Structures are given as C-alpha cells and as structure tokens.
C-alpha cells in the first residue's frame, strides 16, 4: 500500500498523518505538492488537516478547485482509496466527492479536545481493525466541523450505511452533549457509495502513540495496512 499525501499551501497536519501512516504501513508516504497531477503508483490518497489557502473563503473551497483535485477525483473514480481528515474532509465535500458540507461549529468557537467516536461499520478498508459499535477517542481541532446535509441526503446516507463514525459519549450513546460541533445526526465521518472514500473531522493520526495519550486512532491506519492493494 503506497500512500500519497496531498500538500496544499496552509495544510499543517501532513507530518502528523505521515507518521501515523508510516507507523502502520511500514512505508513512508509520498508527499504530493498541490501542483502535481500525476498520482501514478499511489494506492491511497490522503488529504490532511490544516487551513488550505488560509480557509479565507469557505473551508476547503479553494483547494477543491486545485488541479490536483481533478487527479484525486479521477483516482477515486477508478476505485482508488481516498482519506480526507478535517480540512481534507472539507475539501472532499467542496469537491463534491462526498455529500454534505461542514459548517461553522454550532458554538461559533474553535474546538480542540478529545471526542469519542463510535464505529458505525467495521467492514471498510478504513475500519477493519475496529469492531462495529466500538468507541474510540480522537482529538479534534476545528472551527468548521458541523456536518450538514439535507434530510433526504442524510436518510440516504443512513439507509446505505455510509455514515462511518458518530460523535458519542464515552459509553457509546449518541447524545447532544457529545455532539460538540452540532453535526447533523452526530455524524463525524462519511463514506462514498463504494466505501473507498472516507472523510472525517477528528484526528485519529494524533492518537497513535501511548506517549501522546493513547493509541485509539492506530487501528484506522492498521486497517489500511491490512488490506491488499486494489
């Protein structure tokens, strides 16, 4: 599994996710500058967190128009794997590779704390090393993580099993108190119809080392290591 990390100007968690990927995949990911358009040899495209182009327009809106995103879209259309975290999730929705949008947090403040996520399905390439219903901790750090989609879209996502993770309390219960950014139906992560594109707001890559407070995020990267290359 060769991972490639897209580096837009203003991205700031590219090194974090590179460490997490290398730790699980045993191979250093390729850093792909945003002006490149050749993704040949890359099995998994990762769009990391940060503030692409400063996020001075809608978060992710500028990056979504970048030439490399046409290549990412083509990669996904070929059945390639794509993971977007935080700003990466925002970019994937702006590029319409995932449904919905990420709005300003309900409390209108940046939120930086650990949240609990519930694994809604464990049969994807991103979650195979978790159990369905398992609750794990992940740091979040965003100002615009309030997932929004219209009711029909949300119903479709739920019906087709495309909700990857939900914000829950430590016991796994979906609650308003656990849904700090106000996301529709506590949705923290969404999958594409072919289950090969995942966007999520929290940062499992920042919890892959006991020294940093735990390894709750590591199974996500181990899951990617466990699959064969498509």
Partner 1 sequence: MDQLVDAALGRSFGLSGEEYDRVLAIMGRTPSLTELGIFSVMWSEHCSYKSSRVWLKTLPTSAPWVIHGPGENAGVVDIGEGLAAIFKMESHNHPSFIEPFQGAATGVGGILRDVFTMGARPIANLNALRFGDPSLAVTKRVVDGVVRGIGGYGNCVGVPTVGGETNFHRSYNGNPLVNAMTVGIAAQDRIFLSAAAGIGNPVVYVGSKTGRDGIHGATMASSEFAADSEEKRPTVQVGDPFIEKLLIEACLELMATDAIVAIQDMGAAGLTSSSVEMAGKGGVGIELDLDAVPQREAGMTAYEMMLSESQERMLIVIDPAREDMARAIFEKWELDFAVIGHITDTGRIVVKHRGVVEADIALDPLAEQAPLYERPYTEAAKPAALGDVDDPVGIGPALLRLIGCPDLASRRWIWDQYDGTVGGQTVKRPGQADAAVVKIPGSARALALTTDCTPRYCAADPEAGGAQAVVEAWRNITATGGVPLAVTDNLNFGNPEKPLIMGQIVAAIRGMGAACTALDFPVVSGNVSLYNETEGSGILPTPAIGGLGVIADAAQAVGIALAPGLDLVVVGATRGELGQSLWLREVLGREDGAPPALDFAVERRNGEFVRGLIIDGVVTACHDVSDGGLLVAVAEMVLAGDVGAALSLAPEGTAPKVGAHGFWFGEDQARYVLAVVDGAAVMQAAQGAGVPAVMLGRSGGDRLTLHDGTAISVAEMRTAHEHFFARWFA
Q: Catalytic site residues? A: 86, 203, 205
CB of 107 to partner 1, least distance (A): 10
d(CA 66, CA 85): 17
Q: Which of these ranges, 9-17, 24-32, 36-44, 96-104, lies near partner 1 under the rule CB under 8 A?
A: 9-17
Closest-CA residue to 31 (of 68, 67, 57, 5): 5
Q: Residue 151: how many CB atoms within 10 A of its CB?
A: 9
Residue closer to partner 1, measured from CB, 26 or 79: 26
> Given candidates 103, 141, 215, 227, which one binds partner 1 under the rule CB under 8 A?
141
CB of 148 to partner 1, least distance (A): 22
* Site membership for partner 1, residue 13 (CB under 8 A): yes
* Site membership for partner 1, residue 67 (CB under 8 A): no
Both tokens of residue 216? Answer: 């709750």
* Residue 162: burial class (beta carbons within 10 Å; 0-12, 13-18, 19+): buried
* Site membership for partner 1, residue 203 (CB under 8 A): yes
The per-residue DSSP string of 56-102 comes to: -SSTTHHHHTSHHHHHHHHHHHTT-EEEEETHHHHHHHHTTSSSSEE
> Can you give the binding site for partner 1, defined by CB under 8 A?
9-10, 12-13, 15-16, 19-20, 49-51, 53-56, 109-113, 139, 141, 143, 203, 205-206, 208-209, 211-213
């Amino acid at each position: 599994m060769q991972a490639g990390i897209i580096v837009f100007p203003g991205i700031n968690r590219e090194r974090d996710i590179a460490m997490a990927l290398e730790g699980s995949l045993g191979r250093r990911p390729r850093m792909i500058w945003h002006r490149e358009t050749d993704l040949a040899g890359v099995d998994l495209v990762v769009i990391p967190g940060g503030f692409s182009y400063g996020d001075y327009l809608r978060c992710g809106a500028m990056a979504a128009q970048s030439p490399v995103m046409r290549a990412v879209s083509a990669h996904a259309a070929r059945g390639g794997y794509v993971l977007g975290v935080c700003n990466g999730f925002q970019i994937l929705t702006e590029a319409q590779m995932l449904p919905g949008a990420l709005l300003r947090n309900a409390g209108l403040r940046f939120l930086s704390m650990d949240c609990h996520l519930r694994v809604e399905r464990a049969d994807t390439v991103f979650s195979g090393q978790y159990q369905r219903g398992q609750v794990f901790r992940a740091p979040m750090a965003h100002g615009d993580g309030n997932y929004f989609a219209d009711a029909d879209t949300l119903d479709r996502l739920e019906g087709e099993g495309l909700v990857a993770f939900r914000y829950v309390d430590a016991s796994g219960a979906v609650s308003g108190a656990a849904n700090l950014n106000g996301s529709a139906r506590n949705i923290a992560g969404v999958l594409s119809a072919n289950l090969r594109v995942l966007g999520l707001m929290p940062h499992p890559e920042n919890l892959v080392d006991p020294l940093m407070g735990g390894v709750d995020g590591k199974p996500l990267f181990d899951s990617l290591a466990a699959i064969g290359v498509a």
